[in-house]
Structure 1
Amino acid sequence: MTIVVTGTTGALGRHIIDHLLNRGVSPAAIVGVGRNRDRLAELAKSGVRTASVDYSDPGTLDAAFAGADTLMLVSGNEVGRRVEQHTNVIEAAKKAGISRIVYTSAPQADTSALILAPDHKVTEQLIRDSGIRFTILRNGWYTENYAATIEQARATGVYLASSGDGRIASASRTDYAEAAAVVLTTDGHDGRVYELSGDAAWDGTEMAAALSTVTGRDVVFSSVSPDEHRTALLAAGVDEGTTGFLVALDQNTRDGLLGSTTGELSRLIGRPTTPLLEGLTAATALNA
């Protein structure tokens, strides 16, 4: 069996390969693909085969997928281009004769109002329509998404958000990556859709408490309105597009779209998910 893992020059894809290796998959049976040639060269030192690909260039995908059995499709990060790029990837998988796709999606992608959901909903349907066996991993929020928040809190003593009393059931990327590796290396997952999230959901006050511990200073939660949040972000130099996204995401959080604790992630990996404080501490060490 040969497993192609996309996005391996990013954090999640690289974690997936590490967990595959830890589970005894031969490096020769893994093809790590991505765009950053320096990171691919570093990955190749582990014995994993690598290939430089561009989701927008089907020719690079054809070469990378040749002879593979399974595709681990880590969703692209170019919002607005995902559907086009994922279509190219799925078509290349069909052309190469790949018999199984595992895809990282978003929570309740087919029904949710989550700002990130629409591209994932379309991609899930493309995979279903391809006729290829599939497993959908609807990954919840990553604790590492708050790496920049740690530094802001360290500098200001404030965790500012317009999420109200909404909760987020985050987990660390390594948790989600381990779940992917389990699905890739064990049976019984064909046609399954897993709603993955952390075991515990936290709110703004609990995040501020965790940030206080991580930064070594008192951090308070400043709960603001969406308009106040937008004004603060723009004043801090955040561009209009990113500001709109962050405010909308906090609205999604306020509406409870990221707070579900299904227990499916911990069941897949056979252990509790990484707690918020531990995940933030690891993120701090990684960025030190």
Structure 2
Amino acid sequence: MLVTGATGQLGRLTIDALLERGVAPANVVALVRDRAKATDLETRGITVRVGDFEDPASLDAALAGVDRVVFISGSEVGRRATQHQNVVDAAKRASVELVAYTSIVRADSSPLGLAVEHRATEEALAAAGVPTVLLRNSWYIENYTGQLATQLEHGAVLGAAGEGRVSAATRADFAEAAAAVVTEDGHAGRTYELGGDTAFTLGEYAAEVSAQSGTEVAYRDLSVDDYRTALVGAGLPEGYAEALASSDDGLKQGALLVETGDLSRLIGRPTTPLADAVRAAV
């Protein structure tokens, strides 16, 4: 089975999860753009194949002989619809038995701008007739803890989410779910709305950071425009800042709230509590 984006954070964790579920390293194929970044994977006995979402021929070569694919969505927002279509087409040509695609919560109806390309990819998979399981992921807790150093330095978590609740879970939790659906039978044709067991507000997140670090950190709720400006001022590209700010507006309206319990059922345990994730980051 093949994992796209294998040198990314979610990709590496998915490979770890596959191995933990007993998949032999020789039966795992890591699709990467830069082989130099995958030397550790090769050392572990994993097959590394070089391919690019914008190079259909490289995808055909990478998917040769592959039966199942964990299709981790690309990171180049604005270019993903075309890139993902290339992956879908290659999967169809390779007669792949199952594609597990990492989408976003309620991609078919979400107001989030980030959902547009996910929705297009889901539609492309359906049109191609490729057996698919949709893993509609909510936010990663690491989206927040990845900014921990700045949050502690300034004593503030910035956002525009108000009292909106987000069902965030760790990347490791989502990776375990991806590994589960491609190593078990019966998931083809299913759609899973995935999120942490206990949703939280950004104010509650800030309080948890304060408790775990011993440093007072407060949540500062901004308007969407002011939050966008703050992100650009912090060095983020305008397009990315706009996506994050608008996503907070969606979060405020419940767009990232998940109450299905799908994630904990797939991984066979409760999702990682916010307190544990923050403690590990601190």
Q: TM-score, normalised by structure 2?
A: 0.95
RMSD over aligned Cα atoms = 1.4
Which residue of the partner structure matches residue 175 of structure 2?
Answer: 177
> 1:57-101 CA distances to partner (integer Å, 9 max, x unpaired)?
111111111111111111111101111111111111122221211
Spell out, residue by residue over 1:231-278, the C-alpha distance to the aligned partner (whole angstroms, 9 max, x if none).
433443433223212211110111110122221100111100011122
Q: SS state of the match for residue 136, structure 1?
A: strand
Name the stretch that deviates more: 93-102 or 173-182: 93-102
Aligned: 1:103 with 2:106: no
Residue aligning to 1:245 = 243
Sort the Cα spacing of 1:62 and 1:236 in 2 relative to 1 into closer, same or farther, 3 A.
Answer: closer
Aligned counterpart, 1:16? 14
1:213 maps to which residue?
211
Decide whether the 8 Å contact of 1:40 with 1:52 is kept in 2.
no
The reply to whether residue 134 of structure 1 matches residue 132 of structure 2 is: yes
Whichever residue aligns with residue 35 of structure 1, its letter is R
1:118-170 superposed Cα distances (whole Å, 9 cap, x missing partner) = 11111111111112211111011101111342111110111121111111110
Partner of 1:230: 228
Counterpart of 1:5 in structure 2 is: 3
Alignment partners' CA distance in 2, 1:66 and 1:237:
41
Counterpart among 147, 152, 155 of residue 154 in structure 1? 152
Alpha carbons 1:105, 1:138 under 8 Å: kept: yes
Deviations 1:163-204 (A, max 9, x none): 111111100011011011111111111100000000011012
On the 8 A contact 2:69/2:182 being kept in 1, the answer is: no
Aligned match of 2:77 in 76, 79, 93? 79
The residue type paired with residue 268 of structure 1 is L
1:54 counterpart (38, 52, 55): 52
Distance 1:90 1:228 in 2: 38
One-letter code aligned to 1:79 = V
CA deviation profile, 1:44-69 (whole Å, cap 9, x unmatched): 11111111111101111111111111
Q: Unaligned regions of 5+ residues in structure 2, if any? A: none
User: 1:128 and 1:236 mapped to 2: Cα distance?
Assistant: 40
Aligned CA distance change for structure 1 residues 167 and 88 (closer, same or farther; 3 Å): same
Q: CA deviation at 1:229?
A: 2.1
What 5-or-longer segments of structure 1 have no aligned partner? none
With over 3 angstroms needed to count, the CA separation of the structure-2 counterparts of 1:255 and 1:30, relative to structure 1, is: same
What amino acid is aligned across from residue 107 of structure 1 in structure 2?
Answer: V
Distance 1:21 1:236, change over 3 A: closer
> For residues 239 and 39 of structure 1, do their structure 2 counterparts lie closer, same or farther at Cα, with a shift above 3 Å needed?
closer
Aligned length: 282
Distance verdict in 2 for CA 1:101–1:239, change over 3 Å:
closer
Q: Secondary structure at the match of 1:164?
A: coil
Aligned twin of 2:263 = 265
Per the TM alignment, residue 14 of structure 1 is displaced from its structure 2 partner at its CA by 1.0
Secondary structure, counterpart of 2:116 in structure 1: helix
AA aligned opposite 2:53? Y
Give TM-score, length-normalised by structure 1.
Answer: 0.94
What code does the residue aligned with 1:173 have?
A: R
Amino acid at match of 1:117: A
Match of 1:23, as an amino acid?
Answer: R
- 1:190 aligns with 188
The secondary structure found in structure 1 opposite 2:147 is helix
Preserved CA contact (<8 Å) 1:6 1:72: yes
1:132–1:159 CA distance, 2 compared to 1 (3 A):
same
The one-letter code matched in structure 2 to 1:165 is E
Alignment match of 2:28 (pick from 27, 30, 35): 30
